[in-house]
Each structure stands twice: as C-alpha cells, then as structure tokens.
Amino acid sequence: MSFVPTDWEDDDRMNFMFSAFPENRNVNPKHWDSKLNFWTTAVCEMCQSRGEFCTDLNTLRQRFTRNGHVPLGLKIVLREMLRTQKLQTVEDIQSHVNDDWLSWSYGYMRKSFSWTVGTMLWGGNESDRILDNQNFVLTQELQKKADLLLKMHYKAVEHEATDHVVPWNVLKMRCSSAGLLFSDMHLEIVLCHLQRQRMVFVHSTKEGEKVIKFCKKNQSKVVVITDTDLDIMRLKKMVAVLTLQVKKLSKNIESCREKAKECVNQGLRKSALAILKKKESYQKSLDRTTGSLLTLEELLHRIQESETDKMIVETLKSGSSALRAIQEGMNASDVDKVLMDVEGTLEDAEDIQQSLTQGNKAISDQTGGDDMEELERELEALSLSVKAQEEPEEKFKNSLGAETRLPQYHAMDDNALFGTQLPSVPLHSPTSSSSNITTVQKKAALLAE
C-alpha cells in the first residue's frame, strides 16, 4: 500500500482502530470520536494521494487490510461521512442533472436502484444500507477536479461567442492533453457536480451527440443551450472536417506528383499520364473544398467578432447614458451665461486690485514725504559724525611714518607693549580710589598725549 495512515505500525493503537464501534456513541464518546476521526482522515488522504475522488466499501477494505485484518467500522465511518457531506452518493449528484441528459451507464442506474431498494427493506439501521460495491464521491476531491476542468476550459477559450459549447469527444481529448485522465464515468460525475453549481449545462442533440456548454466568465450561471449555440457548433465541426479534407487532398496531390516523376524516370508515360489525371481530379476537389472552407471560416470569423461588436455597442450605450445623466439640467445657454459671469467677476477683481494699488501709493506719498526728509537729514548728520571721529586717527597714523604702526593693546600683552617687567596682579583689595589707576593705564594716558 503506497499510502500508510498515521501510527500504522503501532500494534496496540491499530488493534483499537480496527475494532468495531460501540452500538451507542454515548457509551464512550471520546473513543468513538477518536476512531471516527482517524478513519475519516485516512479515507480522505488515501484518495487524495492516489488522485481519486470515487471509492467504495470493498476498495477501502482491500486498501486498509493489515496483517490479514480488515477494519470493522468502515460502514459507520462512511455513514458519518455521508451525514456530514464529506461523501456523496452518485444518486445525490445525479438528482440535479437536467432531464434531457439521461446517459448514465447501466451500472450506475443499477446501483442507485439497489440503494433505493435497500433503504426500503432495511429500514432504520443506516449503516446496513451501505452496499459493498456502491460508489461514493469525496466532496472535497470532486471540487478540486471540477476546478481543474473549468481552468482547462477557460484556458482553451479564444472567442467568447463560439468557444463555450464543446462536444463530448472534444472535451475528452482536451482533458487527456491537459493530463486530466478521466474515465467516462468520472467525467460524467464531474460534469454533474458542475451542473449542480450552474457552471455547465449538458445537452443531448437529436443525433444523440452529447454537448456541454460552460458558463462564461462574466456570468454568474450558465445559460441553457439554444439553437444558435448548436448551429455555431455544427459550423465549427464543418470547418474542422473541411480542414482535414484539405490536408488529405494536398497530401494526395503531392503523392501523385512523386509517383508521376517515378513513372517518367522509368519510361512509363501512360502510367504517368493516368496518375496526372488523378492528380488533376484531386486538385479540382481541393479547389472546391478550399473555397467552401474559406467561406465558412469567414462566416465563423464574423460570428466571433460579433460578440466584440456587441460589447462595444453596449459599452457606448452605457457611456452615453452616464454622460446624459451627468449633464442633466445643463444646456449651452446656461454654460455661456456662467462663463460671462465668471469673466465679469474676474474683470471686477482686476479693477479692485488696481484701485487698491493706486490708493496705497497715494497714501504713502502723502504721509511719508516729511518723514523721508527728516530721515535724510539724520543720515547726513551721522555721516559727518563718523567722518569727524576718523580724521584724528588718520592724522596720527600719518605722523608715525610708513613703517610705524600704533600698537594693538588687545593683541599684545603688557610686557611686549612697554618692554619692561610689570608687577604682579595684587591679591588684596585696593585701599583708595586712586589705586584703581594701574601703571599700564598711566603709560597709556601718556602715550595718548
């Protein structure tokens, strides 16, 4: 077994898990829930590891056999999983299929009938209703497969108008190419699940062909298949058939050309002529088929473009309605009147600004004339005073000569200034006001004279 549940090698725990459930959960709820959770998880993980979403009781018994022993409570586990909707019966899924798709296999119909008969005969014991070969579907794994199928389809869509209706055989080929290895039975189950979610609609044509229509991305649920959908599907099928015919005829023409060359090389002129006549027949068929194919492809292209044209028209219509709603209550005369009012208001504001500027200047000229004259006189007096203070110093500097400079007391100490050793600074307070005059101050006074 590729998948092994947790504690599979623990004999004591597995003996407990393989034993039967008590008849009543109330006897030991803890043990009951522990065993139920273990097997529920084991069933889900086993199917997930194998990429499956369908199982039955016989399969579970075979895969969970350990040392020749089979779990005794699997019927109760399946019953509880059905009750909590972790499992579904095929009958439940099939009950949501539309009436015109009645193509379920005989085996499924027989199993559903057996389920109904068993329910009627065995009555209240629900675990006894579970048949050994009855198929069950794991809801979570089924949803994953359905999501993968939808993703695959939307990836293949190139034109919204024509690509959402897919024949059954085409869908199977796409699934196989995408790595979704569904059997017919499993693909039907997935489509039934999607149909219950209103994501697909399955239809059988008069010719007995099964057709699937997928929901568009911009729709919340799928729309039923119409005659237009079927006509577009037939058109696409005919384009595909004619494309194959064109390829086959082209291949036949090339083959005839090669054979005719061989006959010419061998000197078989009559055989070569016969082959060339056959080639000419193929060529005429190819011309007719190519013409028909081009016509159908052009028609299909117009249909595909019509969806885009429709969306553009609807968008323009919505935009026009929105613009009309915004401009409701507005007209050209009202706009002209508003603009004229704005222009007049701006002119008035400009006039007010000019008036304020001129008025402020006039007031400044009237009140500030005398003050300016007074300030000018005061500035002239200050200039004369500064000039008078600078003149004695200039005369003194000139009297000293070009190389003599007045010592800068603040830049030299007292010893450098007078060339003598000055007494130390006294440590006691002076006794009279006359002692405040130091020797330095006296010499400075003499020098100033």
Provide DSSP, 234-267: HHHHHHHHHHHHHHHHHHHHHHHHHHHHHHHHTT
Q: Give the DSSP letter of residue 20.
A: P
Contacts of 96 (CB under 8 A, 6+ apart): 192, 195, 196
Is residue 88 within 8 A of residue 192, CB to CB? The reply is: no
Give the C-alpha separation, 395 to 408, whole Å: 17
- pLDDT at position 400: 53
DSSP assignment of 385-431 equals HHHHHHHHHHHHHHHT-SS-----GGGS-HHHHHSSPPPPPPSS--S
Is residue 3 within 8 A of residue 45, CB to CB? The reply is: yes
**Residue among 252, 276, 277, 255 nearest 264 (CA):** 276
Continuous H helices in 267-331 = 269-326
Tell me the pTM.
0.62
- pLDDT at position 378: 78
Partner residues linked to 145 by β-bridges: none
Is residue 182 within 8 A of residue 175, CB to CB? The reply is: yes
Number of other residues whose CB lies within 10 A of the CB of residue 50: 13
Is residue 213 within 8 A of residue 201, CB to CB? The reply is: yes
Q: What is the pLDDT along the chain (449 residues), one digit of tens a residue?
A: 567 888 888 999 999 999 999 888 888 889 899 999 999 999 999 999 988 999 999 999 999 999 999 999 999 999 999 999 999 998 888 776 655 544 444 344 444 444 444 443 334 454 456 777 888 999 999 999 999 999 999 999 988 888 999 999 999 999 999 988 889 999 999 999 999 999 999 999 888 899 999 999 888 899 999 999 999 999 999 999 999 999 999 999 999 999 999 999 988 888 999 999 999 999 999 999 999 999 999 999 998 888 778 888 888 888 888 888 887 777 788 788 888 888 888 888 888 888 888 877 777 666 655 666 777 777 788 878 777 776 666 665 565 554 444 444 444 444 444 444 555 555 555 544 444 445 545 544 554 44
- Tokens 């009958």 locate to 91
DSSP assignment of 130-163 equals --TT--EEEHHHHHHHHHHHHHHHHHH-S-TTTS
**Residue among 253, 201, 247, 244 nearest 226 (CA):** 201
Structure tokens at 304: 């595909």
DSSP assignment of 67-90 equals TTB--TTHHHHHHHHHHTTSEEEH
- pLDDT at position 354: 85
DSSP assignment of 168-231 equals HHHHHHHHHHTT----HHHHHHHHHHHHHTTSEEEEE-TTS-EEEEEPPTT-SSPPPP-HHHHH
